[in-house]
Amino acid sequence: MRRLLAVLLILLVAVAWREAAARRLRTDFDEPVYLTAGVRYADALRDGDLARLANDDFHYEHPGLMKLVYAAALLPFGEAAVAAPPLPELTELADLPPPLHAMVSAARHAAMLFSLLTVLLLADVSPVAGALLAIHTYAIKYTTQIYLEALPMLMATVCVLAYVRALGSAGAQGGGGAGDTERAPVSRRLISPALWLALSAIALGLTAAGKYIYCVAGLAVAVDWVWRLGKRAGAQGRGVQGRKWALLRPSSPGAHSPCSSSMPPTPTCGRTRWGGWGRRWRSTRPTRRVPSWPTWATRGGSRSCGCCDRCPRCGIRACFPSRWIG
């Protein structure tokens, strides 16, 4: 309940700040360009001429998804939007003629909607992050005026958060224990990681359709994915090597002796210890040299390497290796 109240409070703050910006900020340098592009798209949609949407070269250096959003906001103005004079730069909204004032207000509120959705989504994940975004003046300006930032910012956020949720869902289904699965949110247990990854990919595509530069979020996802793959491969490699060494090195003193675990620890075997990353078995007895390979020799009717004490049970001398190769 407290978290819900915090999210609602953050959203109210974001609405208040963005509404004030939409009403008070003067027209900026690029707003006339994007408003004109929205008017041209709206005219093509009104006429049902979809080929004009694909072939319009008025502002081709940026994708057209956010321009389509502005076109949808300007559709109710009809032919008045086409007949309206060009939007002047650095002009107070109160000084604009009635058609332009209403058109700018409609387009700004369309961008503000996506800005508020971003704040709401981020506040639900982290109230602190949502609160910082709610009062971030730079983000408020460029996601409240007629720019291309609002929708790509939302889609980039969805891309990253869906990817993170896919990782959490995979951990809840197969990576964690039973207790972790039971404590995981319902969305993590019911929605498969593949669906979250598909949502992340779709959001990344919409990000590119809004503004190319925001695809840096996809680059961050790719870097994290490659890093996790490398980390997993390294862990698996260490696990395989660990299993190999677990089979090679004695789990108990005398494990390489023919009498195996039934042999009581000999004085030398009991003082033999692991010598570190060099994969070297060494004895604390400085007067005895331990050979580099487990050697079993026959001496006096019993197999022996001549370096370790005789097994008090079977009479066989067991030699532990100083280095395993391979």
257 with 281: CB under 8 angstroms?
no
Tens-place pLDDT, residues 254-303: 444 444 444 444 444 444 444 444 344 444 444 444 444 444 443 444 44
- Per the DSSP assignment, residues forming a β-bridge with 297 are 304
- As given in the structure block, the two tokens for residue 290 are 């331990």
Of 52-61, 101-110, 128-137, 191-200, give the lowest mean pLDDT range. 52-61
Instruction: Give the DSSP H/E element, type plus range, for residue 280.
Output: none
Question: What tokens were used for 283?
Answer: 């004895």
- Phi and psi dihedrals of 25, rounded to 5? -70, 140
Q: Is the pLDDT of residue 250 over 80?
A: no
* pLDDT of amino acid 240: 59
Contact present, 113 and 47 (Cβ < 8 Å): no
| C-alpha to C-alpha distances, 151 to 23, 33, 141, 178, 214, nearest whole angstrom | 20, 17, 14, 39, 10
Q: Is the pLDDT of residue 168 over 80?
A: yes
Q: Where are the domains of the chain?
A: 2-224, 249-326
For 120-139, the pLDDT digits (tens) are 999 999 999 999 999 999 99
Q: Tell me the pLDDT band of 311, cut-offs 50, 70 and 90.
A: low
Report which of residues 68 and 259 the model is more confident about. Answer: 68
Token code pair at residue 203: 């959001």
C-beta of residue 35 within 8 angstroms of C-beta of residue 103 = yes
Q: Are 73 and 86 in contact (CB under 8 A)?
A: no
Between residues 170 and 229, the one the model is more confident about: 229
In this predicted structure, the answer to whether residue 318 has a pLDDT above a threshold of 70 is no
Alpha-carbon distance 167 to 310, whole Å? 55
Write phi, then psi, for 299 (nearest 5 degrees). Answer: -135, 120
pLDDT at residue number 127 = 96
Contact predicate 146/34, CB 8 Å:
yes
324 phi, psi to nearest 5 deg: -100, 135
Please, are residues 196 and 165 in contact by the beta-carbon 8 Å criterion? Answer: yes
Question: What average pLDDT does range 22-36 have in this prediction?
Answer: 96
- Residue 98's pLDDT is 87
Number of H helices, E strands in the chain: 14, 4
Radius of gyration of the chain (CA): 35
Res. 181 pLDDT band, cuts 50 70 90:
very low
- CA 90/CA 145 separation, integer angstroms: 12
- For residue 206, the Cα-to-chain-centroid distance in whole angstroms is 17
Global pTM value: 0.70
Q: What percent of the chain has pLDDT over 70?
A: 67
To the nearest whole number, what is the mean pLDDT of the chain?
79
Instruction: Please say if the pLDDT value at position 52 is more than 60.
Output: yes
* pLDDT-derived band at 242, boundaries 50, 70, 90: low
Structure confidence at residue 256 (pLDDT): 46
Question: Is the pLDDT reported for residue 196 higher than 70?
Answer: yes
Report residue 148: phi and psi, to 5°: -100, 10
